A and B are shown apart, each in its own frame.
Chain A
Amino acid sequence: GEDVEQSLFLSVREGDSSVINCTYTDSSSTYLYWYKQEPGAGLQLLTYIFSNMDMKQDQRLTVLLNKKDKHLSLRIADTQTGDSAIYFCAESGNDYKLSFGAGTTVTVRA
């Protein structure tokens, strides 16, 4: 939605790192999320971060949060062809009503 913005496309070479960026406007956001959508399927939660955290790492995924700038990023290390998908940034308060960005289509090239 309009409260969450992200670039629409990213192309990355296999084996490189991918960085997907997102900005949001709601300063009262409690949780920030990254979801992944593969072709023809629903979304799947990859990871989330509390708004009082700066960083969260989970295997190949690193989430960075700059609360002052309302900027969230997702870094995927050693990007593989299976990582080709649409990645959605989302935010919510404690009511868990998620607001999603438009999604970034990541294409991994050999």
Chain B
Amino acid sequence: DGGITQSPKYLFRKEGQNVTLSCEQNLNHDAMYWYRQDPGQGLRLIYYSQIVNDFQKGDIAEGYSVSREKKESFPLTVTSAQKNPTAFYLCASRGQGPGELFFGEGSRLTVL
């Protein structure tokens, strides 16, 4: 089945540690996105990539890094510089329709 796979679903991290969230898609989409979701707030864009080997900062990129070495993969690293990393992270890719984003099931990161 085609779709977006995020892993891990749940992740616990100690303060000061970097952690990488995986996002893989087999939809053959060019554009991919990372959003952060906090209770009572809308999704906020962290990074996005329109094409392989290219990516741009979103609205809240500080403390995060990404790479886009393959079309299928867009991993997100939450670094120790991110001041409040506990959140639900959603990865998406964009299909053919206007703004038609396909989302993964999300990764919930908790910093202890």
Contact = CB atoms under 8 A, between A and B. Distances in A.
Given A1-B59, A96-B99, A42 B105 contact: yes
Contact of A90 (B40, B99, B104): B99
A8 B44 CA distance: 17
Nearest to B104: A42
Contact of B42 (A44, A48, A88, A92): A88
B90 interface: yes
Nearest to B38: A102
A110 interface: no
Chain B, interface size category, equals 20 to 34
A72 to B, nearest CB: 14
A102 B41 contact: yes
B4 interface: yes
A41 B42 contact: no
Interface in B30-50: 31, 35, 40-45, 48
B64 interface: no
A95 to B, nearest CB: 9
A92 B43 CA distance: 13
B43 A100 contact: yes
A45 B42 contact: no
Interface string A37-78: 000111111001010000000000000000000000000000
Interface of A: 1, 4, 8, 30-31, 33, 35, 40-45, 48, 50, 88, 90, 92, 96-103
Interface of B: 4, 31, 35, 40-45, 48, 58-59, 90, 92, 94, 97-101, 103-106
22 contacts: A1-B41, A1-B44, A8-B40, A30-B98, A31-B99, A40-B105, A41-B103, A42-B90, A44-B103, A45-B101, A48-B97, A48-B98, A48-B99, A48-B100, A88-B42, A88-B43, A96-B31, A96-B98, A96-B99, A97-B45, A98-B43, A99-B42
